[in-house]
């Protein structure tokens, strides 16, 4: 039996102390994941249990019962999988919620007063964020599993039935404001969200509380009164939905209030008082391209399909296609009060796409009603599409 002070015993104690110090110096897996996420370019990384936001399913079902999703049929089709993380992936144990700041350099609403130019939502003024974030989510998921030495993970960014905003609130990234978008005390309204579902057991962060208080600036600024109540959005009245997701003609009641917004709407985001803490995004790949900052309506109206695809290659705008895009541009032309743009509307009255022709009729009627009356005698009898025929009748 060795004495307590023997060389062998002393060596064992030293080795034990060294191992204890090493263990103390090794960061917890959550902190290691968080640090790696920041290194990859994310600005926020938080954790939640897979049971996060249990009430989101019922709120979603109530929203769908009210038909507030408009013609976004995929929302109805994926409702059950969207209702809870484990409904999508039963093996999930933890969630990693990521935020990437895309705060603009200047006033995102400045171009609304430039009637001969277009206003594009901040998030769409450069490359498609889905591609950028998904690649980084995959990198982070790979790092997590390698460090843990086991487990599985799935990454999501908008394209899967995941309710990122309530999950992000549960993880403490921010809270869903009265406009239903996520608000952060550090980044205001300007966070892209991504999620990683994993079988790893990760310690959850505390949820974020609602800090909207009595403020209702986001509700009052909405051009089309799309909020029937705080925390409730009727997509059928929302300009982001109408200019992006809606496939048919823009309903007449919303056209004038569209102004020159041709892709999305940032009004409710931009007026949030929490933006005083926001800063410009550090990701250069998401910085606004000069050609997307208040582009002239005249130039946009002349895009054929090939030119549209070339201009918006790698942009989320490309997804809606040239016809829907020109529909929006023509509504902006009709709202411009610029008589020199009437020629663009008149030219597009003969476009091959009924969606474009109908919007062109409306725009020309706003700018040059006498010229429209002349053309009506020629064009209406030969018009094969009933929706366009209705535009001619209403404009006249």
Q: Which pairs count as long-range contacts for 33-40, CB under 8 Å and 24+ apart, including other chains?
A: 33/96, 33/140, 33/143, 33/144, 33/147, 33/202, 36/140, 36/143, 37/96, 37/98, 37/140, 40/136, 40/139, 40/140
Instruction: Report the relative pairing of strands 119-120 and 261-263 from DSSP bridges.
Output: parallel
The catalytically annotated residue of 158, 186, 205, 293 is: 158
Spatial contact of 271 and 177, defined as CB atoms under 8 Å apart: no
| Pairwise CA distance, residues 339 & 367, whole Å | 6
| Pairwise CA distance, residues 333 & 340, whole Å | 10
Spatial contact of 81 and 239, defined as CB atoms under 8 Å apart: no
What element of type H or E holds 176? strand 175-176
Candidates 281, 314, 342; CA nearest to 101 is: 281
| Pairwise CA distance, residues 136 & 35, whole Å | 14
DSSP code of 208?
P
Residue 357: strand, helix, or coil? helix
Annotated catalytic residue 205 = no
Spatial contact of 261 and 119, defined as CB atoms under 8 Å apart: yes
Neighbours of 184 (CB within 10 A): 24
What element of type H or E holds 97? strand 94-101
Candidates 356, 311, 301, 293; CA nearest to 120 is: 293
| Pairwise CA distance, residues 237 & 254, whole Å | 8
Q: How is 11-33 classified by DSSP, letter by letter?
A: HHHHHHHHHHHHHHHSPPHHHHH
Beta-carbon contacts of residue 54 (< 8 Å; ≥ 6 apart): 84
Residue 196: strand, helix, or coil? strand
Token couple for 252: 């007449």
DSSP code of 194?
E
Active-site residues, by number, are 158
């Amino acid at each position: 039996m060795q004495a307590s002070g023997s060389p062998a015993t002393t060596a064992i104690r030293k080795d034990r102390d060294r191992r204890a110090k090493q263990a103390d110096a090794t960061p917890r897996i959550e902190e290691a994941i968080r640090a790696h996420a920041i290194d990859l370019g994310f600005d926020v990384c938080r954790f939640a249990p897979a049971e996060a936001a249990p009430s989101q399913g019922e709120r979603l079902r109530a929203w769908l019962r009210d038909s507030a999703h408009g013609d976004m049929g995929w929302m109805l089709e994926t409702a059950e999988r969207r209702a809870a993380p484990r409904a999508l992936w039963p093996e999930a144990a933890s969630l990693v919620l990521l935020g990437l700041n895309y705060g603009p350099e200047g006033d995102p609403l400045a171009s609304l007063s430039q009637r001969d130019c277009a206003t594009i939502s901040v998030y769409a003024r450069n490359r498609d964020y889905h591609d950028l974030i998904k690649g980084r989510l995959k990198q982070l998921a790979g790092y997590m599993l390698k460090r843990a030495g086991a487990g599985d993970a799935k990454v999501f960014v908008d394209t899967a039935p995941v309710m990122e905003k309530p999950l992000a609130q549960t993880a403490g990234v921010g809270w869903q404001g009265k406009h239903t978008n996520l608000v952060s005390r550090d980044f205001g309204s300007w966070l892209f969200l991504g999620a990683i579902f994993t079988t790893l057991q990760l310690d959850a962060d505390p949820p974020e509380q609602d800090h909207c208080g009595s403020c209702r600036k986001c509700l009052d600024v909405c051009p089309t009164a799309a909020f029937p109540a705080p925390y409730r959005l009727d997509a059928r009245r929302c300009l982001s939905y109408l200019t992006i997701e809606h496939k048919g003609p823009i309903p007449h009641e919303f056209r004038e209030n569209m102004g020159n917004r041709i892709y999305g709407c940032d009004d409710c985001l931009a007026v949030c008082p929490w933006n005083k803490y926001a800063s410009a995004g550090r990701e250069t790949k998401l910085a606004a391209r000069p050609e997307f900052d208040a582009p002239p309506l005249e130039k946009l109206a002349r895009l054929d399909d090939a030119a549209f695809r070339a201009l918006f290659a790698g942009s989320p705008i490309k997804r809606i296609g040239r016809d829907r895009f020109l529909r929006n541009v023509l509504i902006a032309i009709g709202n411009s009060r610029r008589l020199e743009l009437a020629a663009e509307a008149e030219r597009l009255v003969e476009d091959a796409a009924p969606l474009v022709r109908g919007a062109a009729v409306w725009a020309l009627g706003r700018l040059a009603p006498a010229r429209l009356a002349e053309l009506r005698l020629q064009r209406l009898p030969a018009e094969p599409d009933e929706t366009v025929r209705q535009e001619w009748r209403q404009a006249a």
